[in-house]
Amino acid sequence: MSGLIGRKIGMTSIYNDAGKQIPCTVLEVGPCVVTQVKTEEVDGYAALQLGFGDKSEKRSLKSESGHFAKANAPVKKKCVEFSGFQEDYALGDVISADLFQEGEFVDVSGVSKGKGFQGVVKRHNFGGVGQATHGQHNRLRAPGSIGAASYPARVWKGMKMAGQMGGDVVTVQNLLVLKVVLDKNLVLVKGAVPGAKNSYVIIEK
């Protein structure tokens, strides 16, 4: 689907016409530069590669500089391919937050905050084992049995256990666009989106 690359600014809240307070996330969406146009004749599929956020020339590879020079644009930090744009864009065109309209719904993808190594209660919402009485003292947050002895005599793949939590690509669907501030390229969406402040997000229609 068509969309743009953005950056999560943070959360706030606004009031609607009825006076109800609505929590929302502020996203800096674009401006994104069309850095490559892929066609079915050449690449086998149609898509636009968009770039967001300027990168220092000192920290750029020569191959990167040459790629973005074709679009007459500075080297970008983040590049993502999108498909499904209604309009025809050429190399070097700039797409801003006016792609989105107030009242429509979008999907937002980002990398969730890393939580480190966590147990099953926090990671998988387990309820814990047993009670805090009858003599047992250290099994309150234990996972319980992870498999039988005689059969299958092993632990099944995919068993929910303790381990690394967070740092995954998460997509939140059907978020309402509450407000679009064109002069600052800001889009306010209802609710929360994954990721920390200043992290990159992908907003798709």
The secondary element (H helix, E strand) that includes residue 188 is strand 186-190
Q: Does the reported pTM lie above 0.85?
A: no
Strand duo 3-15 + 169-181: pairing = unpaired
Q: What are 204's two structure tokens?
A: 């798709």
CA nearest to 180, candidates 200, 203, 201: 203
Q: What are phi and psi of 183, to 5 degrees?
A: -70, -20
3-117+170-204 has CATH 3.40.50.1970 classification:
no
Cis peptide before 31 (omega within 30 of 0): yes
Q: What is the pLDDT of residue 88?
A: 83
Q: Can you give the pLDDT of all 205 residues of the chain as single tens digits?
A: 788 999 999 999 999 889 999 999 999 997 899 988 888 888 888 888 999 988 888 888 888 888 888 888 888 889 999 988 878 888 888 888 888 999 999 999 999 999 999 999 999 999 877 677 777 777 788 888 898 889 989 999 999 999 999 999 999 999 999 999 988 999 999 999 999 999 999 999 8
Residue 202 in contact with residue 3, Cβ under 8 Å? yes
Helix (H, G, I), strand (E, B), or coil: what is residue 65?
A: helix
The secondary element (H helix, E strand) that includes residue 81 is strand 76-82
Domains in the chain: boundaries: 3-117+170-204, 118-165
Q: What is the pLDDT of residue 84?
A: 80
Q: What is the pLDDT of residue 188?
A: 95
